């Protein structure tokens, strides 16, 4: 299984175009958003200035993009081309493929998060305590695994032409409603009620908690763990179902 | 997962009374399409078996069921007395699928190395590459290979370790004649080493030349099971053809018991018969004066066409 994980990581690193855009894209959006609004006040509902708030949002958003897009399309393509069938003829357990895909995605998220941080620190002069930088990186990186599992599940759920639209709907739906693009506190009440239960909301909240100097709320961590179990369990179930059907 | 039944590290591990493959009344439908219907068969250790059938006969479905890629609606599929998945996990099966894709963005050596490392009873990577004839292209990216090269890489994956059964679905598709001959020479070595080999093909000469046993599949059912010679005999082994001044005189020949088919075009009469000598004798006994009499052996191809056509006629 380790051999497969190693090879998946290697393949991701070789895919230079995907790496480049995944790493650069969230930083560009960060600059666009934080640059246009030069208000000095804090973001509504938080103790954070806009530049710091969006640094976490965009690092989370970038990680989400990389793992969701990378996994779902790639898996759907590999199912179509029959590589998954070939792999089923080896002794590799089903979870091996899913784990290798999550590991491969995790390689992209790390530079993506770090680059957003560097851009925020250099261009927008975001300043944090020294301990906060590594902890933030770790928290956002670990949280992205939830969405890597979701990407695997989508890759098994949809095939062919349906993958991209489905990924897009999930991706924009989760990032906008979860408050990655604009603070959820600016939403109408009913939308906030929905937003609170989304994994992206809990995901961004993890980083914001660290940024304001506290520990992540137990509720957010629990919610993310529940979503991880749901997505990973769903992916494993779909993998088995695919074995019977595909 | 069971690995206790792994057996010795190479060669045929099945006890003589344990079938390598055993299908018991296996059926599989996709919606309204019955892909496999009431299939019962058993492969013995060391056999080289060809699975023949026209497109849509159920060859690929049968192999999918055998490998555990699909589950039957009814009936049971056992490999070495265990489930297909258990046999795969124990490293007893190597398979080369038509529908089996390759991992992209890696080199041939990396891909083969991966499958070797996943095999419970692996061979050294260099040996696997050499046997499949892909040592020269080991550093090439998998997505830059030609069709024939891809097939050889698939073969490398199917022989990454000491398998007891090798399953090949149309293995020589995309290979030129030389590559095809080299491929079967390698395959024969595998068979000589005591492995059981099952291959699906639509090149009938391959089945004729290589298989000890031929299974003819048609519309998901097993139509014939025997050596190539037996299949040919069953179809009407010989073709007798001759010319007559008045071809209408040949009509009484239809009553002959040994005929499997008779066709008259122009002045020429073509007969397929299980006993050519007896047929020729009958022709003369009828007082006919045949000219340009020819007696030829049927190829497996014609035998195959004859068997499937007879089945079509029976079920129509």
Question: What are A202-221's pLDDT values in tens digits?
Answer: 999 999 899 888 888 899 99
CB nearest A90 (choices: B68, B101, B115): B115
Q: List the single range of A133-137, A229-233, B57-61, B305-309 with lowest mean pLDDT.
A: B305-309
Query: To the nearest whole number, what is the mean pLDDT of chain B?
Result: 85
pLDDT band at residue B11 under the 50/70/90 scheme: very low
Q: With 70 as the cut, is the pLDDT of residue B13 above it? A: no
CA distance to partner chain A, nearest, from residue B160 (Å): 10
Q: List the single range of A119-133, A189-203, B101-115, B194-208 with lowest mean pLDDT.
A: B194-208
Contact A85 B100 (CB under 8 A): yes
Contact B105 A14 (CB under 8 A): yes
Residues 91-110 of A with CB under 8 A from B: 91-93
Do residues A200 and A179 make contact, with C-beta atoms less than 8 angstroms apart? yes
Q: With 70 as the cut, is the pLDDT of residue A243 above it? A: no
Which DSSP string do the residues of chain A spell out, in sequence order? -HHHHHHHHHHHHH-HHHHHHHHHHHHHHHHHHHHH----SBPTTSSSBHHHHHHHHHHHHHHHHHHHHHHHHHHHHHHHHTHHHHHHTSS--HHHHHHHHHHHHHHHHHHHHHHHHHHHHHHS-----TTHHHHHHHHHHHHHHHHHHHHHHHHHH--GGGHHHHHHHHHHHHHHHTTSSS-GGGS-HHHHHHHTTSHHHHHHHHHHHHHTTSPPPHHHHHHHHHHHHHHHHHHHHHHHHHHHH-
Chain B contacts of A94, Cβ < 8 Å? none
- Of these ranges, A105-109, B106-110, B302-306, B312-316, the one predicted with the greatest mean pLDDT is B106-110
Contact B101 A88 (CB under 8 A): no
Q: List the single range of A159-163, A238-242, B13-17, B103-107 with lowest mean pLDDT.
A: B13-17
CA distance linking residue B79 with residue B20, whole number of Å = 5
Chain A contacts of B100, Cβ < 8 Å? 82-83, 85-86, 89
CA distance linking residue A103 with residue A99, whole number of Å = 6
- Residue B107's DSSP bridge partners are B141
CB nearest B101 (choices: A4, A82, A91): A82
CB nearest B101 (choices: A15, A78, A93): A78
Chain A contacts of B117, Cβ < 8 Å? 3
Q: What is the spatial order of strands in the sheet that B74-79 belongs to?
A: B33-43, B21-30, B74-79
CB nearest A86 (choices: B70, B97, B110): B97
Contact B69 A88 (CB under 8 A): yes
Chain A contacts of B71, Cβ < 8 Å? 244
Contact A15 B113 (CB under 8 A): no
Q: With 50 as the cut, is the pLDDT of residue B5 above it? A: no
> What is the per-residue pLDDT for A38?
60
CB nearest B99 (choices: A4, A7, A82): A82
B289 by Cβ neighbours in 10 Å (0-12 / 13-18 / 19+) ranks as exposed
> What is the per-residue pLDDT for B235?
67
Chain A contacts of B115, Cβ < 8 Å? 90
Question: What confidence tens digit (pLDDT) does each residue in B187-212 have?
Answer: 888 888 889 999 998 777 788 888 99
> What is the per-residue pLDDT for B8?
41
CB nearest A91 (choices: B68, B100, B120): B120
Chain A contacts of B91, Cβ < 8 Å? 91
B181-to-B25, B178, B184, B192, B301 alpha-carbon distances in Å = 36, 5, 5, 16, 19
> What is the per-residue pLDDT for A246?
43
Q: List the single range of A49-63, B140-154, B221-235 with lowest mean pLDDT.
A: B221-235
Chain A contacts of B102, Cβ < 8 Å? 81, 83, 86
Q: For chains A and B, what is the number of CB pairs under 8 angstroms? A: 76
Q: List the single range of A22-31, B79-88, B105-114 with lowest mean pLDDT.
A: A22-31
pLDDT band at residue A37 under the 50/70/90 scheme: low
pLDDT band at residue A40 under the 50/70/90 scheme: low
Do residues A12 and B106 make contact, with C-beta atoms less than 8 angstroms apart? no
> What is the per-residue pLDDT for A230?
93
Mean pLDDT for the stretch of residues A10-33: 87
CB nearest A86 (choices: B100, B106, B117): B100
- Of these ranges, A160-164, B121-125, B227-231, the one predicted with the greatest mean pLDDT is B121-125
Q: Which residue has the higher pLDDT, B299 or B44?
A: B44
Q: With 60 as the cut, is the pLDDT of residue A141 above it? A: yes
Q: Chain B residues within 8 A (CB-CB) of chain A? A: 1, 67-71, 88-91, 93-95, 97, 99-106, 110, 113-115, 117-120, 154, 157
Q: With 80 as the cut, is the pLDDT of residue B312 above it? A: no
> What is the per-residue pLDDT for B7?
39
Q: With 80 as the cut, is the pLDDT of residue A242 above it? A: no
pLDDT band at residue B9 under the 50/70/90 scheme: very low
Mean pLDDT for the stretch of residues B143-157: 90
A60-to-A26, A30, A35, A108, A222 alpha-carbon distances in Å = 9, 11, 19, 12, 18
CB nearest A86 (choices: B1, B101, B105): B101
Chain B contacts of A93, Cβ < 8 Å? 1
Chain A: residue nearest B98 by CA? Answer: A82
Chain A contacts of B113, Cβ < 8 Å? 3
Contact A91 B99 (CB under 8 A): no
Contact A86 B102 (CB under 8 A): yes
Contact B100 A245 (CB under 8 A): no
Mean pLDDT for the stretch of residues A171-189: 87
Structure tokens at A166: 């489905």
A129 by Cβ neighbours in 10 Å (0-12 / 13-18 / 19+) ranks as exposed
Question: What confidence tens digit (pLDDT) does each residue in B167-176 have?
Answer: 999 888 877 8
Residue B185 neighbours by CB distance under 10 Å: 9
- % of residues, chain A, pLDDT over 90: 34
- % of residues, chain B, pLDDT over 90: 40
> What is the per-residue pLDDT for A138?
93
CA distance to partner chain A, nearest, from residue B137 (Å): 19
Chain B contacts of A244, Cβ < 8 Å? 70-71
Contact B93 A88 (CB under 8 A): no
Question: What confidence tens digit (pLDDT) does each residue in A79-128 have?
Answer: 888 888 888 899 988 788 888 888 888 888 898 999 999 999 998 888 88
């Amino acid at each position: 299984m380790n051999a497969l994980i190693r090879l998946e990581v290697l393949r991701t690193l070789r895919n230079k175009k995907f790496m480049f855009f995944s790493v650069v894209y969230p930083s560009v959006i960060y600059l666009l958003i934080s640059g246009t609004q030069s208000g000095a006040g804090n973001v509504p509902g938080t103790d954070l200035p806009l530049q710091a708030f969006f640094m976490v949002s965009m690092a989370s958003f970038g990680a989400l993009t990389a793992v969701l897009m990378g996994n779902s399309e790639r898996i759907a393509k590999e199912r179509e081309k029959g590589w998954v069938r070939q792999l089923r003829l080896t002794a590799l357990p089903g979870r091996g493929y899913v784990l290798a895909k999550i590991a491969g995605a995790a390689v992209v998220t790390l530079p993506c998060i770090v680059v957003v941080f560097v851009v925020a620190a250099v261009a927008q002069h975001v300043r944090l305590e020294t301990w906060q930088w590594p902890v933030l990186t770790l928290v956002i990186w670990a949280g992205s695994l939830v969405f890597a599992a979701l990407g695997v599940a989508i890759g098994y759920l949809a095939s062919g032409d349906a993958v991209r639209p489905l990924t897009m709907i999930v991706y924009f739906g989760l990032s906008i409603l979860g408050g990655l693009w604009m603070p959820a506190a600016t939403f109408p009440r009913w939308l906030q009620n929905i937003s609170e239960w989304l994994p992206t909301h809990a995901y961004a909240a993890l980083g914001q908690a660290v940024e304001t100097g506290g520990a992540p709320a137990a509720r957010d961590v629990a919610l993310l763990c529940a979503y991880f179990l749901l997505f990973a369990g769903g992916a494993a179930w779909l993998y088995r179902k695919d074995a019977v059907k595909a | 997962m069971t690995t206790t039944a792994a057996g010795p590290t190479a060669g045929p591990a099945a006890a003589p009374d344990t079938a390598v493959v055993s299908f018991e009344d296996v059926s599989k439908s996709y919606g309204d399409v019955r892909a496999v219907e009431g299939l019962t068969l058993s492969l013995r250790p060391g056999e080289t078996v060809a699975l023949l059938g026209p497109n849509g006969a159920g060859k690929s479905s049968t192999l999918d069921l055998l490998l555990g890629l699909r589950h039957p609606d009814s009936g049971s599929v056992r490999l070495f007395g265990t489930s297909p998945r258990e046999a795969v996990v124990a490293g007893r099966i190597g398979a080369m699928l038509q529908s089996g894709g390759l991992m992209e963005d890696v080199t041939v050596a990396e891909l083969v190395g991966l499958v070797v490392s996943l095999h419970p009873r692996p061979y050294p990577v260099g040996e696997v590459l050499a046997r499949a004839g892909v040592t020269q292209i080991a550093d090439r990216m998998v997505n830059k290979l030609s069709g024939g090269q891809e097939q050889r890489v698939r073969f490398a994956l199917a022989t990454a370790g000491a398998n007891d059964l090798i399953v090949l679905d149309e293995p020589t598709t995309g290979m030129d004649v030389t590559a095809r001959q080299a491929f079967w020479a390698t395959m024969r070595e595998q068979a000589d080493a005591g492995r059981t080999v099952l291959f699906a093909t639509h090149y009938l000469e391959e089945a004729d030349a290589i298989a000890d046993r031929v299974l003819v599949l048609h519309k998901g059912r097993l139509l014939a099971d025997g050596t190539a010679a037996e299949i040919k005999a069953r179809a009407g082994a010989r073709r007798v053809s001759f010319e007559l001044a008045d071809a209408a005189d040949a009509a009484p020949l239809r009553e002959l018991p040994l005929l499997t088919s008779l066709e008259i075009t122009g002045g020429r009469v073509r007969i397929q018969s299980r006993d050519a000598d007896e047929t020729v004798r009958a022709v003369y006994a009828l007082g006919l004066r045949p000219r340009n009499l020819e007696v030829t052996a049927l190829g497996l191809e014609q035998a195959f066409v004859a068997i499937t056509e007879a089945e079509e006629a029976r079920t129509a």
